[in-house]
Structures are given as structure tokens and as C-alpha cells.
């Protein structure tokens, strides 16, 4: 492995950047919890009906946000109207249409392809219903609660580049560029590796799918490994979330190609367990705090209905888990 790279940064310098990024994420998490606890004093949703519209709840992140929001609305004395579209865009549109007709005191939309949901978020706002979002960068949302996806994308890319010594072929899943967080993370990967010209994205990029994400990723990565049979011909696999990473990791292990590392985002317990396994190809996972994101979004509803002004975006810190710190990160998340 080369100690110096064509970018002018040596591997040790890249490692330092990645380590600093991880430390920044972890420290911010502690600060965020203290801030949120202080900010909730006096908040109430008594007598308020809050609609919670989920694109789907089959993924760890989505389900954690959804359940936390329902519980937080109840805890603050409100009535949740919670609906789940099951990853069906037609059902999601009908779901939003029904919610607009019911005229709740606020609607919180969890994820969704912007081109699909935005016309209906606008209809809600036009009907006088405040719209807030989770992980959706819509101009029709009064506040979007999310992780700092620019930071996630940059730090995950730095970790990847560090681990592969600043050079080599990488495989990228890029199937959901229409989902804002996925687009930001992908763009940040590209922004980082443009300074490391010996890092190449194998073309064509892969398209991750829903449902059957794990099985599909396993099949696609197995095919790529057969196309690039020499060890070292692929250094890493990147995806904007960690369910494709799970299938990719399984395929790499099954093929005995454990020299390849995998990278993803979300912090699903099963992926963090793989990162913790020193023999596993799972290299790093940027762990979000979905339950906290859900609770903060509902607190923002309460603040808005109490007459407070909200920022355009509320960021809940993520925690970058790698082979060295995954034990500490899972403990912080309460799942280790």
C-alpha cells in the first residue's frame, strides 16, 4: 500500500482527517442531547392532532423515527394520526390526500421521493396545515429534521479513502438519487474523491432497490466480483444507506474476498455488528440517531404551534462507526 498519494496528502494525513471527523460527530451527539432536553421544557401538544406520514417502515431508520414520533406526540398530550404507505408511491399520495382532508394541526412527512410528495406537501400548506419533514429538503416544509448529510457524506468518504490508501477501484450503489439525503451523501463522495484521482468508481454504477435490497445487493456484488476476479482489483463498496451494504458484505465474505471493505449509512444494529467483527469486510457505518430525529421533529411541531420560530433545518448529529471505535459508538447509541 502506497504511503503517499497523488493528492499530496499521505495516508497518515488522511487517517487524521477521518479520526477528527469521527470525534467531531461523537462530541456533537452529547451536546445535541443536552440541548434537546433543555428545549423541551414547557412543550405541549394537548388538544392537538398531529399527522405522521411514513413512506415506509420496513427499514430500521424509518421504523425508529415513526415509533418515536407516535410516542412523543402522546407524551406531549397530543393525538397522533400515524399512517404508513408501505413503500408504495401511489398509496403515499392517497395517504397525503386523506390527511389534507382531515385537517390535522400539523403534518410530519418521513422521507419520500421529492417529485412524488412535494405537490401534496404544497396542497397541505395551501390548506393552512403546517408541514414539517424528516429527511426531506422541500420548500414546502417549515422545518426539516435530519442528520447533517453533508458531514456524513464527507466523513464516510474520508474514511473510505483512508482505508484504501487513496487509490483503487470502488463500487457504488446509486439507486435513489431522487431522495435528498442519498443525493447529498453521493455528491460528497464525489467531491472527496475528485482530489484522489487514483480512486475510480467502476462504471456503470449499481442501482440498489426496494424491496429485497439485501438479496439484490448480494446478487449484484457477486456478479461484479466474478467480473473482477483478481484480489486488489476492487478496494471498496459504497452505498448511501446500509441495507445494500449488508448484502454486499455478505457477498464479499461468501466469495472469500475479505480484502474489500464496505461502507454505508444508518447504523442498523446488524451492520454495526459486522463492523465490530474484525474479520468482516464491513469497514464503517455512519450511524444516525433515528429515534432522536423523530422526537426532535415532534418537539419542533410543539414549538411551532406555540408560536415559536423554527430554523429551516434542525440537525441531529450522526456517529461515524469504524473498526476502531464501533464499541464506543454502539454504547452511545444504546444498542451495544
The model's confidence at residue 46, banded by pLDDT at 50, 70 and 90, is very high
Residue 166 Ramachandran class (φ > 0 left, ψ -120 to 50 alpha, else beta)? left
pLDDT at 41: 66
Q: Give the chain's length.
A: 336
Residues 224, 254 contacting (CB under 8 angstroms)? no
In a domain, 44, yes or no: no
**Between 22 and 278, where is the model more confident?**
278
In a domain, 42, yes or no: no
Residues 319, 333 contacting (CB under 8 angstroms)? yes
Task: Give tens-digit pLDDT for 180-189.
Answer: 899 999 999 9
Residues 269, 59 contacting (CB under 8 angstroms)? no
- One domain, residues 263 and 299: no
Residues 69, 52 contacting (CB under 8 angstroms)? yes
In a domain, 226, yes or no: yes
Q: Is the pLDDT at 205 greater than 50, yes or no? A: yes
Q: Is the pLDDT at 30 greater than 60, yes or no? A: no
Q: Which domain holds residue 274?
A: 149-288+320-333
Strand ranges (E), the chain: 49-54, 79-84, 106-110, 131-134, 143-146, 168-172, 199-201, 236-238, 261-266, 282-287, 313-315, 319-322
- One domain, residues 186 and 328: yes
- CA–CA gap between residue 116 and residue 97 (Å, rounded): 12
The model's confidence at residue 336, banded by pLDDT at 50, 70 and 90, is low
Give the CA dihedral 276, 277, 280, 284, nearest 10 degrees: 10
Q: Is the pLDDT at 11 greater than 90, yes or no? A: no
- CA–CA gap between residue 38 and residue 173 (Å, rounded): 40
Helix residue ranges per DSSP H, 164-263: 180-193, 213-227, 242-254
- One domain, residues 326 and 199: yes
- One domain, residues 191 and 95: no
The model's confidence at residue 179, banded by pLDDT at 50, 70 and 90, is confident
- CA–CA gap between residue 266 and residue 141 (Å, rounded): 23
CATH code of the domain in which 88 resides: 3.40.50.2300
- CA–CA gap between residue 7 and residue 237 (Å, rounded): 21
Task: Give tens-digit pLDDT for 234-256.
Answer: 999 999 999 999 999 999 999 99
pLDDT at 40: 57
- CA–CA gap between residue 121 and residue 129 (Å, rounded): 9
- One domain, residues 245 and 274: yes
In a domain, 114, yes or no: yes
- One domain, residues 160 and 309: no
In a domain, 326, yes or no: yes
Task: Give tens-digit pLDDT for 100-109.
Answer: 999 999 999 9
pLDDT at 38: 46
Strand, coil or helix: 159: helix
pTM: 0.80
In a domain, 176, yes or no: yes
pLDDT at 160: 98
pLDDT at 335: 77
Q: What is the mean pLDDT of the chain?
A: 89
- CA–CA gap between residue 24 and residue 3 (Å, rounded): 25
pLDDT at 37: 52
Which of 180, 238, 229 lies closest to 205 in space, CA to CA? 238
Strand, coil or helix: 184: helix
- One domain, residues 53 and 179: no
In a domain, 121, yes or no: yes
pLDDT at 28: 38
Residues 5, 166 contacting (CB under 8 angstroms)? yes
Element (H, E) at 8: none
- One domain, residues 122 and 162: no
Which of 107, 97, 155 lies closest to 128 in space, CA to CA? 107
- One domain, residues 154 and 135: no
- One domain, residues 247 and 329: yes
Which of 170, 325, 173, 315 lies closest to 242 in space, CA to CA? 173
The number of CA neighbours under 13 Å toward the Cβ of 87 is: 10
Angle, to 10 degrees, between the axis of helix 11-39 and the axis of helix 149-163? 150
For the chain, the domain total comes to: 2
The number of CA neighbours under 13 Å toward the Cβ of 62 is: 21
- CA–CA gap between residue 228 and residue 242 (Å, rounded): 23
In a domain, 27, yes or no: no
- One domain, residues 158 and 138: no
- One domain, residues 170 and 139: no
C-alpha torsion sign, points 148, 154, 157, 161: negative
Amino acid at each position: 500500500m502506497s504511503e503517499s498519494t497523488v493528492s499530496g496528502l499521505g495516508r497518515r494525513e488522511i487517517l487524521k482527517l477521518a479520526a477528527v471527523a469521527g470525534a467531531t460527530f461523537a462530541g456533537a451527539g452529547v451536546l445535541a442531547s443536552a440541548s434537546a432536553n433543555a428545549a423541551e421544557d414547557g412543550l405541549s401538544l394537548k388538544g392537538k392532532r398531529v399527522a405522521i406520514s411514513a413512506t415506509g417502515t420496513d427499514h430500521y431508520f424509518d421504523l425508529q423515527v415513526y415509533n418515536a414520533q407516535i410516542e412523543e406526540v402522546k407524551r406531549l398530550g397530543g393525538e397522533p394520526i400515524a399512517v404508513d404507505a408501505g413503500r408504495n408511491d401511489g398509496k403515499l399520495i392517497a395517504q397525503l390526500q386523506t390527511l389534507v382532508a382531515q385537517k390535522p394541526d400539523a403534518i410530519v412527512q418521513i422521507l419520500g421521493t421529492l417529485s412524488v410528495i412535494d405537490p401534496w406537501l404544497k396542497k397541505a400548506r395551501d390548506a393552512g396545515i403546517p408541514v414539517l419533514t424528516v429527511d426531506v429538503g422541500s420548500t414546502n416544509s417549515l422545518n426539516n429534521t435530519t442528520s447533517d448529510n453533508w458531514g456524513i457524506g464527507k466523513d464516510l468518504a474520508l474514511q473510505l479513502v483512508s482505508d484504501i490508501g487513496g487509490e483503487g477501484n470502488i463500487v457504488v450503489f446509486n439507486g435513489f438519487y431522487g431522495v435528498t439525503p442519498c443525493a447529498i451523501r453521493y455528491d460528497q463522495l464525489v467531491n472527496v474523491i475528485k482530489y484522489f484521482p487514483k480512486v475510480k468508481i467502476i462504471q456503470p454504477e449499481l442501482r440498489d432497490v426496494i424491496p429485497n435490497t439485501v438479496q439484490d445487493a448480494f446478487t449484484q456484488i457477486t456478479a461484479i466480483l466474478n467480473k473482477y476476479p483478481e484480489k486488489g482489483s476492487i478496494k471498496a463498496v459504497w452505498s448511501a444507506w446500509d441495507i445494500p451494504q449488508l448484502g454486499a458484505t455478505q457477498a464479499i465474505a461468501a466469495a472469500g474476498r475479505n480484502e474489500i471493505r464496505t461502507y454505508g449509512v444508518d447504523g442498523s444494529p446488524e451492520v454495526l455488528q459486522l463492523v465490530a467483527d474484525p474479520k468482516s469486510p464491513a469497514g464503517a457505518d455512519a450511524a444516525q440517531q433515528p429515534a432522536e430525529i423523530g422526537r426532535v421533529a415532534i418537539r419542533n411541531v410543539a414549538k411551532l404551534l406555540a408560536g415559536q420560530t423554527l430554523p429551516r433545518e434542525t440537525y441531529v448529529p450522526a456517529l461515524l462507526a469504524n473498526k476502531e471505535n464501533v464499541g464506543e459508538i454502539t454504547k452511545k447509541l444504546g444498542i451495544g
